[in-house]
Amino acid sequence: MSPEESAAREGLVRWGRSMFERGLTPGSSGNLSVRLADGYLFTPTNSCLGFLDSERLSKLDGNGKHISGDPPTKELPLHFAFYETRPSARAVVHLHSTYATALSCLADVDPNDAIPPITPYVVMRVGKVPIVPYTRPGSADVAPLIRAKAGDHPAILLGNHGPVVAGTSLEAAVFATEELEETAKLVLLTRGMAIRHLAATEIADLEATFMLRG
């Protein structure tokens, strides 16, 4: 096995456990993937992110064919929609984290911009977050909805379901997902309060200084 693949397996187990233990996705919800030079690693369907076994992770070849390990997550169309539209994407994280999922259930949130720019890190790590309409978990119907947005947006909320975020590494995707979750929490905590949003000039300054998002 290549050093790249063993590091990716170890990263999936370590980050999966860390996120599960911090309550970022309950039960067997959520799924993770990493793009390798010769294919993809996915978390198996119905697996708990807290207890992944590196040898049982699902390996797919470059064409998306399952070649080893347990059967992959049913959200393959969701993950591949990101990989197909974002050549820079090396990992995708999908969780059912409480606050981002709560936002995805609200009827009065702007579907093109669900997370207001209230702190610098959400601008730097996440950017504008659209919401795509609800589709059944695992349905291929999500793919065109994601493909229409993912080229411009590494982070998307699935309506009535939860967040999905692509990154240039697994660590980057996890950090962006955590930032999205924390910002969703701040947004909900401050609902109804007078908020000072970052000004357009402040956002432009952050974007010019930290061209970080992938």
Ligand X SMILES: O=C(CO)COP(=O)(O)O
Q: Which stretch binds ligand X (CB under 6 A): 68-76, 127-135, 182-190, 193-201?
A: 68-76
- Min dist CB 57 to ligand X, Å, is 12
159 binds ligand X (CB under 6 A): no
Among 13, 20, 24, 29, binds ligand X (CB under 6 A): 29
164: alpha, beta or left, given left = phi > 0 and alpha = psi -120 to 50?
beta
46 binds ligand X (CB under 6 A): yes
- Min dist CB 44 to ligand X, Å, is 7
Torsion sign across C-alpha atoms 8, 9, 12, 14: negative
Q: Return the number of the residue (121 or 134) whose C-beta is nearest ligand X.
A: 134
Residues classed as catalytic: 75, 121
Q: Which of 10, 19, 76 is nearest to 48 (CA)?
A: 19
Q: Which of 124, 139, 129 is nearest to 187 (CA)?
A: 129
> Do 178 and 120 touch, CB atoms closer than 8 A?
no
Helices (H), 93-141: 98-104, 120-125
74 binds ligand X (CB under 6 A): yes
Phi, psi values for residue 172, rounded to 5°: -65, -40
Q: Return the number of the residue (71 or 87) whose C-beta is nearest ligand X.
A: 71
147 binds ligand X (CB under 6 A): no
- Min dist CB 156 to ligand X, Å, is 13
Residues that bind ligand X (CB under 6 A): 28-31, 45-46, 73-75, 94, 137
